[in-house]
Amino acid sequence: MEKEYTYEDYENTAKWLIKRINRQPLVAVICGSGLGGLTDKLTETQVFNYSDIPNFPQSTVPGHAGRLVFGLLNGKACVMMQGRFHMYEGYSLSKVTFPVRVFKLMNVETLVVTNAAGGLNPKFEVGDIMLIRDHINLPGLCGQNPLRGPNEDRFGVRFPPMSDAYDRNMRHIAHSVWNQMGEQRELQEGTYVMVAGPNFETVAECSLLQKLGADAVGMSTVPEVIVARHCGLRVFGFSLITNKVITNYESLEKANHEEVLEAGKQAAQKLEQFISNLMASIPQVKA
């Protein structure tokens, strides 16, 4: 059976990183598929390969470089995960979420999550950005929850609420910043549903997810959000709509990862600029 992490494991990794960085990050950003280019906007960067960081898992998915990048984005000290970990890679959820608790012990206050997702809402177009208002944790409803097992009280309470998982104030700020950018398409807002993957969904599954009230579907993000909220981090996030799900049996289209990355490439610059603009507006929690 895979060894579970101890509090000391998180602590040792955090101390290893703190010893080697020039400044403490206040914001952590998890870059989703094809969104690793956000790190190019950082200045005064320090880069660590996941393979060099004690206890860190390795990313195995195309579009996920596998590097931790520290630097300044629009004047804000950040750390960015250029590549995340997924259940479908065979990792336990404690490994998928390992970096989040390390960030907490590094005194990060805010976690920004991004992902590439399929559009379930018929109003969405490829290239839209959806501000995540809420999520549906399908693996969690079936027992796959990152908080399963003994609770570590030093991180958070046994039964953390999730009704406020995505910070309301930051969502208001995001809409305001988006409006100032003058984009033609409005900033979408909706519910993200997580499926385990790695296969894309069947037509029947897509219809079910729409009936559940989900607006976008993906294979990540939710475990990190749950662990972040458990340990008291402020969270907000975005889905980049890289494909529209297939809901018609007559359709000859098929979803594939290469198209997701290609669509992501074309729209990613918009999301990267948006997040860069937002950085200046993230209020510090501990003044």
- The string of pLDDT tens digits covering residues 38-64 is 888 999 999 999 999 999 987 766 655
Residue 1 pLDDT class (50, 70, 90 cuts): very low
Question: Stretch 155-161: mean pLDDT, rounded?
Answer: 97
For residue 3, is pLDDT > 80?
A: no
Identify whether 64 is a catalytic site residue. Answer: yes
Identify whether 135 is a catalytic site residue. Answer: no
Identify whether 181 is a catalytic site residue. Answer: no
pLDDT value of residue 248: 81
- Out of 17-26, 30-39, 255-264, give the one with best mean pLDDT: 17-26
Identify whether 115 is a catalytic site residue. Answer: no
- Which residue among 77, 80, 87, 116 is the active-site one? 116
The pTM is what?
0.93
For residue 9, is pLDDT > 50?
A: yes
Q: Residues 213-270: pLDDT tens digits?
A: 999 999 999 999 999 999 999 999 999 998 888 888 877 677 666 766 676 676 788 8
Residue 209 pLDDT class (50, 70, 90 cuts): very high
Identify whether 257 is a catalytic site residue. Answer: yes
Identify whether 228 is a catalytic site residue. Answer: no
Identify whether 88 is a catalytic site residue. Answer: yes
- Which residue among 77, 220, 239, 267 is the active-site one? 220
Q: Residues 65-114: pLDDT tens digits?
A: 789 999 999 989 999 999 888 999 888 999 999 999 999 999 999 999 99
Domains and CATH numbers, the chain: 24-279 (3.40.50.1580)
Question: Stretch 202-223: mean pLDDT, rounded?
Answer: 96
CA-nearest of 77, 70, 68 to 99 is 68
Residue 271 pLDDT class (50, 70, 90 cuts): confident
pLDDT value of residue 256: 66
Identify whether 33 is a catalytic site residue. Answer: yes
